[in-house]
Structure 1
Amino acid sequence: MKQHILPAIKLTLVCIVVFMVAYPLLIWIAAQAAPARGRGETVVSQNKTVGYRLEGQSFTRDNYFQGRPSAAGYNAAGSTGSNKGPSNPDYLKEVNARIDSFLAHNPGIERADIPSELVTASGSGLDPHISPQAAMVQVKRVAAYRHISEERLKQLVQQYTESPFLGVLGTSVVNVLPLNLALDQLK
């Protein structure tokens, strides 16, 4: 029995040191190299904090680009997906309602042209990004409400399109909050 207890105690002590001291210290050191030293990146406009760079925001007015729907109501404290699968009738009803709403606010867009991220919530419910295609499909509506040329808005979307990490990891994305703040700065 002694031959089993002593190794178990040693393993427990090693795990405590590794997982409660060394690993958190390593993560903290890595966070110090990150923007804002790991505290999150706030977005400031006119000396006022308007949101966080890595947290989705709700934009419902037609003169703004809209991001992904949120199952959590854009509440970071309740970050979660809906846990409803694509065969769930309630989920399908919700997605179809989002599609109908999108089509009503974006005349001339075909149902098949709506990128999925505009009608389905992300796993966290807080995704701040959409694809460049999801932004481009909204250009006509935003241009009409803002009385700005579609070409100028397409350039703005391209300007705010972020490339994949290291050029190969992930896909190109557009962060909706900085895009909409830049939109407000246009004359």
Structure 2
Amino acid sequence: MNNVKPGLRLTLIFILILGIIYPLVMTGISNLIFPEKAKGSLVYDKNQLIGSSIIGQKFTDDKWFHGRPSAIEYDASKSGGTNLAMSNPEFKKALDRNIKEFLSKNPTVKQEEIPSDMLTASASGLDPEITVVSAKLQADRVAKANGIAVEEVNRIIDSNKSGKFLGVFGQERVNVLKLNLKLLNK
């Protein structure tokens, strides 16, 4: 019984520090240093919220750039990949389905040219970005559907690309929502 009161006191102190004070301090600091990101990196068009630049969305119309496949259909209340091994027959079925879908939407592309980010889901299922190569492979379809020159679509891609992580890791990439917003306001 002698240990109960100090144990309860210590529990309440840690609840206060770690459950209230620490989160409030971190939220305050993040709002000061990274205000846009702390509020969810929301993207607006003409004062209307259209999405977040850190959570992918599904675009299916030919006039839009398409993001990578999502195991959770871009449901932001969930997060997760397929967790299927390459040896799993379900993985092969999904891969074949994604290849077929990509080629049907982009008939000028050869199967061996399709980057892996257009065929496989990300670990979170919410990835908002694709590689620049993936975007450029969609340029013909997007240009034709929007009635603009492929060169103009490629300029939009090039003006929206982000560099490699720390200048060394990964590939150049583009945010699909931001690309499509540029097309919308073209």
Q: 1:37 to 1:132 in 2, by over 3 A?
A: closer
The size of the alignment, in residue pairs, is 181
Residue 82 of structure 2 aligns with which residue?
Answer: 82
Verify: 1:28 aligned to 2:1, yes or no.
Answer: no
Residue 64 of structure 1 aligns with which residue?
Answer: 64
SS of equivalent to 1:101: helix
CA deviations 1:29-87 (Å, max 9, x no partner) are 44121133612121111321111110001101111100111111111111111111211
Q: TM-score, normalised by structure 2?
A: 0.84
Q: 1:80 to 1:155 in 2, by over 3 A?
A: same
After the TM superposition, which parts of structure 1 deviate over 6 Å for at least 4 consecutive aligned residues?
Answer: 12-18
Gaps of 5+ in 1: none
Residue 142 of structure 2 aligns with which residue?
Answer: 142
Distance 2:166 2:116 in 1: 25
Distance 2:17 2:171 in 1: 34
Which amino acid in structure 2 is aligned with residue 96 of structure 1? D
Gaps of 5+ in 2: none
Q: TM-score, normalised by structure 1?
A: 0.83
CA apart distance, 1:23: 5.2
Which amino acid in structure 2 is aligned with residue 31 of structure 1? S
Distance 2:167 2:29 in 1: 22
SS of equivalent to 1:49: strand
Spell out the pairing of 1:89-100 with structure 2 (5 A cutoff): 89-100=89-100
CA deviations 1:66-109 (Å, max 9, x no partner) are 01111111111111111112111112101111101111111121
CA apart distance, 1:168: 4.4
Spell out the pairing of 1:107-126 with structure 2 (5 A cutoff): 107-126=107-126
Identity %: 37
CA apart distance, 1:131: 0.7
